[in-house]
Amino acid sequence: MEQKKEDGKAFFTQGKWADALASYQAALAYPNVPVDMQSLLLSNIAMCQLKLRDFAGTLSSCDQAMSLPNVAASVMEKLLFRRAQAYMELDQLTPSARDIKAVLQLNPGNKPAALLLRQLQERARADASGVGKALKSLRDTPSLDALRFLEHASDTSIYRDVVAQHGESVLWKCVYACEDRSVGAAALRVLHKMSTASSGGYSSAAAVLAAVDLTILTTFVQPPQVALVNGNDDGADSSVFALEVGVIGLCGALVGYLAAQPTETSDRTLAPRRLLLDAVLNGLRSDRVPLQVAALDTLLTDLKQLHAKLRTSLDELGIFPLLLSRADVFEDRTVSRVALVFSQVLA
């Protein structure tokens, strides 16, 4: 039994959760295992089940251990904490909070438990604001209703709640994994708004940048010779190209965030900035007017105050000849914007 327990410990240290679980379960299956050892093994089993995201199994193991007599306080503390984590993952916030508070009563200095309690409070606040419900809907079955709620929120502080629940990753998945382009476009608009809105000095742009795969994002807007959007755009408006328009906007917002960082940080982000900026200009290179308009609007809004910082990259990417090529007096949607971008870049 002792050897199996040690095997489990070694496997766990190596990150081999399934092997560790099997070893601990084998140790527990030995006859006449002392009660105190049973509770310890069950605690370790629960720990492995958490790692394997078997939350129902975690609850069962913890309950089984807690039903044993005379469980040591140190083991009970671990059992309560692991059960609280499982409850939280299952969106059962009330029992999770109860267990965390019990942990803190046993050990007020338990920092992971204090952190989990704060996360629970953030989750509860997000649920109260409607964010939790919206994100749950997006995780289950992405819908425009949930995305519209997030997109049109009047109080941008809810985006802090979105980040607290890792909602930026959920939104990004809607972009690259959902077959409905309108859902992807709506998710991009939410990510764009999250990247540009701030509340009380808080910005969620960093979280969005960490969640988004820039290589995938920028492939949605290709140069004309390899463009993914085909067909004639006669009479088409931006809704036809909503996904690509959303990509251009988000790329611009992320360029703006990166360019606004301190110089030492900004220098390290030159490559992703250039990649994103090139994607914005691909909109301008396109022969699709809605994409040209989206690129010009991004240059006029998301990057309005940053043209000086981006001047070298803009020059290298051919901004001036590109603008000249789009100065078509017969195209009302672009000609006035081109003039404004010209004046801002030259300022």
Structure confidence at residue 38 as a pLDDT band (50, 70, 90): very high
Long-range CB pairs of 54-57, under 8 A, 24+ apart, other chains included: 55/86, 55/89, 55/90, 56/86, 56/90
Whether residue 234 is predicted with pLDDT greater than 50 in this model: the reply is: no
Shared domain check, 254 and 182? no
- Nearest-angstrom CA–CA distance, 178 and 140: 12
Q: How many CB atoms lie within 10 A of CB 279?
A: 26
Quick one: 76 and 146 in the same domain?
no
- The whole-number average pLDDT for the span 69-87 is 95
Looking at residue 246, its pLDDT comes to 96
pLDDT for residue 186 is more than 70: yes
Residues contacting residue 323 through CB under 8 Å, at least 6 positions apart: 284, 338, 341, 342, 345
Return the pLDDT at 330.
55
- Is residue 300 within 8 Å of 347, Cβ to Cβ? no
Are 63 and 97 contained in the same domain?
A: yes
Q: In whole numbers, what is the pLDDT of the chain averaged over residues?
A: 86
pLDDT band at 225 (very low <50, low <70, confident <90, very high): low
High-pLDDT (> 90) share of the chain, %? 51
pLDDT band at 265 (very low <50, low <70, confident <90, very high): low
Can you give the pLDDT at residue 228?
44
CATH code at position 235: 1.25.10
| Per-residue pLDDT at 4 | 87
Average pLDDT, integer, range 216-231: 72
Asked if the model's pLDDT at residue 170 lies above 60, the reply is yes
Write out the residue range of the structural domain in which residue 317 sits.
213-347
Considering its fold, how many domains does the chain have in total? 3
Q: Which two tokens stand for residue 317?
A: 């990417």
Question: Using an 8 Å Cβ cutoff, are 24 and 41 in contact?
Answer: yes
Query: Could you say which of 124, 159, 181 is where a domain stops?
Result: 124
Domain final position from 177, 193, 211: 211
CA distance 213 to 169: 10
Closest C-alpha among 227, 337, 344 to residue 282:
227
Chain centroid to CA 87: 22
Q: Which residue has the higher pLDDT, 27 or 311?
A: 27
Residue 113, classified by CB atoms within 10 Å of its CB into exposed (0-12), middle (13-18) or buried (19+), is: buried
Does one domain contain both 185 and 173? yes
- Per-residue confidence band for 309, with pLDDT thresholds at 50, 70 and 90: confident
Q: How far apart are CA 95 and CA 92, in angstroms?
A: 6
Same domain, 183 and 217: no
Residues 342 and 218 in one domain: yes
How many other C-beta atoms are found inside a 10 Å radius of the C-beta of residue 346? 9
pLDDT tier at 255 (50, 70, 90 boundaries)? very high
Rounded mean pLDDT, 200-223: 88
CA angle 316, 319, 325 (to 5 degrees): 135
User: Which residues 6+ apart lie within 8 Å of 274 measured at CB?
Assistant: 313, 317
Q: Where does a domain end: 211, 238, 254?
A: 211
**Together in a domain, 170 and 282:** no
**Radius of gyration over alpha carbons of the chain, in Å?**
26
Q: Specify the pLDDT at position 213.
A: 96
Q: Of the given ranges (3-7, 45-49, 81-85, 151-155), which has the lowest mean pLDDT? A: 151-155
**pLDDT for 112-158, tens place per residue?**
999 999 888 877 776 766 888 899 889 988 989 999 999 988 777 78
Band (pLDDT 50/70/90 cuts) for residue 345 is: low
Token pair for residue 96? 């999770």
pLDDT band for 229, please (50, 70, 90 cuts).
very low
Residue 224 CB-half CA count within 13 A: 9
Q: How far apart are CA 80 and CA 62, in angstroms?
A: 8
- The token pair at 242 is 């909503």
Nearest to 211 by CA among 244, 162, 259: 162
Report the pLDDT value the prediction gives residue 46, as an integer from 0 to 100.
96
Query: What torsion do the CA atoms of 254, 260, 261, 264 make, to the nearest 10 degrees?
Result: 120
